[in-house]
Amino acid sequence: MRFDRLRLNGFKSFVDPTDLVIREGLTGVVGPNGCGKSNLLEALRWVMGENRPTAMRGEGMEDVIFAGTARRSARAHAEVVLTVDNRDRLAPAGFNGDDQFDIVRRITRDAGSAYKIGGKDVRARDVQMLFADASTGAHSPALVRQGQISELISAKPRSRRRILEEAAGISGLYQRRHEAELKLNAAESNLTRVEDTLDQLS
């Protein structure tokens, strides 16, 4: 799955709408310290459904909203739009009709995040699954944060295995298995209740 464009609006230091066009080949982002290079990578991870404030270098998820400066007031919301090239039809069924589609995540203060895929309202899980199945999720080893290499070297085997699983595109299967197990447990406890009721009636 190729990314064509990343659009940021009110996200961290990107208070005004900003487009990063990602063309075929290598794209480099250069700039002085503190100009927002890492914020671009965080925007990419965030639009893919990242929900850990620590991964976004913040204390709460609302810390991604432009916080204001001496000259500009804080914003009430932030939005990131990722335009994906889907000509190879890697996106799962239901979203793979077009050659290109947008994934949008918007956060509003006190109202949390809302997501859209191709203009349709979806849940965070739908976005996370879409990328997990395409092996490019928010935890993908393709997105390397500062300090991550040294973390990887000292990581425990279990954490290293997670990285390999993400790269192999099977992390979506684990999530589905977990959800299936939760449903199974709920069904089993319902069954126990039915049996208890039947016992009382007989």
Query: Residues interacting with ligand ATP, by CB under 6 A?
Result: 12-13, 31, 33-39, 63, 65-67
Identify the three-state secondary structure at position 147.
Answer: coil
DSSP 39: H
Known binding residue 32? Answer is: yes
Of 47 and 117, CB closest to ligand ATP: 47
Of 33 and 200, CB closest to ligand ATP: 33
Question: In angstroms, what is the minimal distance from the CB of 17 to ligand ATP?
Answer: 15
Known binding residue 172? Answer is: no
Known binding residue 36? Answer is: yes
Known binding residue 12? Answer is: no
Question: In angstroms, what is the minimal distance from the CB of 51 to ligand ATP?
Answer: 17
| Separation CA 126–CA 156 (nearest Å) | 29
Of 13 and 96, CB closest to ligand ATP: 13
| Separation CA 65–CA 61 (nearest Å) | 8
Question: In angstroms, what is the minimal distance from the CB of 108 to ligand ATP?
Answer: 14
- C-alpha angle with apex 101: 88 to 89, nearest 5 degrees? 15
| Separation CA 186–CA 198 (nearest Å) | 18
How far lies 187's CA from each of 193, 198, 200, in Å?
10, 16, 20
Of 39 and 83, CB closest to ligand ATP: 39
Question: In angstroms, what is the minimal distance from the CB of 33 to ligand ATP?
Answer: 4
Known binding residue 189? Answer is: no
Known binding residue 190? Answer is: no
Of 34 and 157, CB closest to ligand ATP: 34
- Range 142-152 burial, b when 16+ CB lie within 10 A, else e: ebeeeeeeeee
Question: In angstroms, what is the minimal distance from the CB of 68 to ligand ATP?
Answer: 7
Tokens of 137: 């999720």
User: Binding-site residues for ATP, please?
Assistant: 32-39
